[in-house]
Structure 1
Amino acid sequence: MWRTPLQPIKAWALQTHRSHRFRHLPLASTENQVFRQSQRGFFASKWQKRLGHLLEGRRRPPAPDVPDKEQLTNDFGIKPCKPVLGSKRTGVLAYKIGCMSLWDEWGVKHMVTVCQLDRLHVVQSMTLQKNGYEALQLGLGYRSIHRLSRPEIGTYMKAGVGPKHHKCEFRVSSDCLLPPGLELSVRHFVPGQWVFVSGWSKGRGYHGVMKRWGFSGGGSDFHGHKKSHRSAGSLGQRGIGKVWVGKKMAGHKGPDPRCVNAKVFRIESTRNLIFLKGALPGYKGSVVKISDARGKTALKNNHIRLPYPTFVPVPGVEYPVTIQEPPPQRDPFLYPEQPLYQPND
């Protein structure tokens, strides 16, 4: 009597007919279950796991809900002050997140670089009486306590903050000193303000003089140059048989210290994000220093009232979370109509 497909088979019959590839699978009551287990165990799980690793980098977390307004408190009792001749505020440390594009109210596209002030606290305050100079030591990010020395741990415990990934000192004036343990936010800067951003450029590897120093190179073959189109040319002069120290030659390009001017386009206080116009030096995730502009660039900030010594909130007042640079009053896409011919011509 022939067995129907739905009729169960015996265990000993299944054991004799099982292939060596399916011996590790448990015994099933029907042939269909054995086929499903073999397919799921040998094909689907392996490729699903590989596909999951490939798509893991593409999965992005959902965008957080950013409120429109927030209320802040002044726990350290800091009082705002008016700047005088010689007043100098502290700078900040930030992580470079990446670049993106934003549009203003007129529809003009702006290329910006996003930086984050991640857990930026004042670690130590230097005074003239104790240290001989006035400065603030700031700490950024987080670092495992097992990677710190005991003096560093004592400094963080005294300030009441966690271990920091990066520290830096900023010279300030006496009226801009801040207490240790204070957390600085992006409200330290005002949208539309010009700032100095300093960091280390990317490492480009070994390059020639044209790529590294911008040499123009040699001429073409038709003007007497043979096999010397991208060479450095002469390295010295007649009479002195030496190559001077600091001669621009081929070699490793970057990382080098760089300082650029940037304009604050937008700030977001919930995630401590600051959007700066233009490109900034360094890789994604590198640390940059942001400070107030000085010299001729500081003249562009005369119409902006900067908070001294830093932003001091008023209790009970709601502040907007996202603040953007005010747009120009005139439409940038409105061009004046000039006729080709004047009426009197």
Structure 2
Amino acid sequence: MWRTPLQPIKAWALQTHRSHRFRHLPLTSTEKQVFRESQRGFFASKWQKRLGHLLEGRRRPPPPDVPDKEQLTNDFGIKPCKPVLGSKRTGVLAYKIGCMSLWDEWGVKHMVTVCQLDRLHVVQSMTLQKNGYEALQLGLGYRSIHRLSRPEIGTYMKAGVGPKHHKCEFRVSSDCLLPPGLGLSVRHFVPGQWVFVSGWSKGRGYHGVMKRWGFSGGGSDFHGHKKSHRSAGSLGQRGIGKVWVGKKMAGHKGPDPRCVNAKVFRIESTRNLIFLKGALPGYKGSVVKISDARGKTALKNNHIRLPYPTFVPVPGVEYPVTIQEPPPQRDPFLYPEQPLYQLLDCISARVMVSCVIEQLACVALPGQMISG
């Protein structure tokens, strides 16, 4: 019986390889020797096999050496601008790498999700005069040129970048437009900044209303319910006699578009890695969009000075490669020296309230009473 290297031979395989007239006979000494050699591969003993496994190289390449500082150049001649009311920066595209845990200077553990800005470049710049709106088209990753159409290849050649795996547009203001071909890095964000991360959640398959929408379900058997413990219940009113559009029912759960708030914990510019606190939607390797927080969440970034329109390096200046969110000033593991409230303050507050009530009772009209 022919076999490939390191493929063991089963005893029944040798018997089935025989002719049907000799298949019932036991194995010969030669066949038994072949069977023993196949069980341990092409090694004379099991110790040689174990030694070979110990001496073989690592399956994964070692992590690269990350320097402490680096110098950057401004090849496109971009100048920083001062933001005004209505200024809007562009967002970025990133690959979701996975989750891990990091510790700050106080020893507090933070669960973060790692995202990578892999070969992120500006592909097109939409202007108000040419396109009727202002936006930037960004490209992420790499894709084979054989999978692209000729107009797409011409767009990439005009921008001077390689073919991209994923493209997306971000609306920006006129003062935050960037030239095509510019590469964006994780320095576009500042550690400690709140951002919006949008993506598609994981597909969970078919689920009932309790798992999909969080329904409480029916009662137990002790309260008169039979075979309706996890049912949806009523689907509508009797008067109209129909089921409204959008009724929450059982069905396929995910993938759905989701947007979450996340805080930038750390950035690393050598591998363009950004570490965001919490969980993000999507599988490992999926594409997510990261943009500046808006609405009430944007008020948390008032104390942070964001780079507009993006990070513009100064030639000859060394910048740290890894930047982490500054830790809190107080030790989170120590109890506060003073209690949350003072007893004297509570007594003085009650005395003041009683004095105010007495004054109101004095100025009140006759016949009216004010209860304290």
Query: For the superposition of Structure 1 and Structure 2, which TM-score range results when normalised by the shorter chain?
Result: 0.7 to 0.9
Greater shift, 248-257 or 35-44, is seen at 35-44
CA contact (8 A) 2:8 2:39 kept: no
CA contact (8 A) 1:140 1:165 kept: yes
- The Cα RMSD (Å) is 8.2
**Alpha-carbon deviation of 1:241?**
1.9
**Post-superposition CA distance 1:42-82 (Å, at most 9, x none):** 67799999999999999322111000000000000000000
CA contact (8 A) 2:8 2:38 kept: no
**Alpha-carbon deviation of 1:5?**
30
**Alpha-carbon deviation of 1:300?**
0.2
Aligned CA distance change for structure 1 residues 109 and 19 (closer, same or farther; 3 Å)? same
Aligned CA distance change for structure 1 residues 283 and 56 (closer, same or farther; 3 Å)? farther
**Post-superposition CA distance 1:298-335 (Å, at most 9, x none):** 00000000000000000000000000000000100111
Matches within 5 A, 1:61-210: 61-210=61-210
Matched-pair identity in %:
98
Aligned CA distance change for structure 1 residues 99 and 34 (closer, same or farther; 3 Å)? closer
**Alpha-carbon deviation of 1:245?**
1.2
Partner of 1:18: 18
CA contact (8 A) 1:27 1:34 kept: no
**Post-superposition CA distance 1:133-190 (Å, at most 9, x none):** 0000000000000000000000000000000000000000000000000000000000
CA contact (8 A) 1:9 1:29 kept: no
Partner of 2:332: 332
Partner Cα distance (1:208, 1:128) in 2? 48
Aligned CA distance change for structure 1 residues 315 and 44 (closer, same or farther; 3 Å)? farther
CA contact (8 A) 1:22 1:38 kept: no
Partner Cα distance (1:11, 1:227) in 2? 53
Aligned CA distance change for structure 1 residues 282 and 51 (closer, same or farther; 3 Å)? farther
Aligned CA distance change for structure 1 residues 228 and 86 (closer, same or farther; 3 Å)? same
Aligned CA distance change for structure 1 residues 35 and 295 (closer, same or farther; 3 Å)? closer
Gaps of 5+ in 1: none
Gaps of 5+ in 2: 342-370
Aligned CA distance change for structure 1 residues 295 and 42 (closer, same or farther; 3 Å)? same
**Alpha-carbon deviation of 1:224?**
1.5
Greater shift, 77-86 or 28-37, is seen at 28-37
Partner Cα distance (1:241, 1:16) in 2? 68
Aligned CA distance change for structure 1 residues 326 and 142 (closer, same or farther; 3 Å)? same
CA contact (8 A) 2:8 2:41 kept: no
Partner Cα distance (2:17, 2:256) in 1? 70
Partner Cα distance (1:193, 1:147) in 2? 38
Partner Cα distance (1:12, 1:250) in 2? 50
Greater shift, 136-145 or 48-57, is seen at 48-57
Aligned CA distance change for structure 1 residues 40 and 109 (closer, same or farther; 3 Å)? closer
Partner Cα distance (1:172, 1:5) in 2? 59
Aligned CA distance change for structure 1 residues 225 and 179 (closer, same or farther; 3 Å)? same
**Alpha-carbon deviation of 1:23?**
21
CA contact (8 A) 1:28 1:34 kept: no
Partner Cα distance (1:55, 1:220) in 2? 61
Aligned CA distance change for structure 1 residues 336 and 134 (closer, same or farther; 3 Å)? same
Superposition TM-score, scaled by structure 1 size: 0.84
Superposition TM-score, scaled by structure 2 size: 0.78
Greater shift, 179-188 or 25-34, is seen at 25-34
- SS of alignment partner, residue 303 of structure 1: coil
CA contact (8 A) 1:8 1:30 kept: no
Aligned CA distance change for structure 1 residues 166 and 53 (closer, same or farther; 3 Å)? farther
Aligned CA distance change for structure 1 residues 223 and 95 (closer, same or farther; 3 Å)? same
- SS of alignment partner, residue 96 of structure 1: strand
**Alpha-carbon deviation of 1:10?**
33
**Alpha-carbon deviation of 1:204?**
0.2
Aligned CA distance change for structure 1 residues 319 and 340 (closer, same or farther; 3 Å)? closer
Partner Cα distance (2:210, 2:3) in 1? 83
Aligned CA distance change for structure 1 residues 231 and 32 (closer, same or farther; 3 Å)? closer
CA contact (8 A) 2:10 2:35 kept: no
Aligned CA distance change for structure 1 residues 6 and 330 (closer, same or farther; 3 Å)? closer
Partner Cα distance (2:121, 2:320) in 1? 22
CA contact (8 A) 2:6 2:42 kept: no
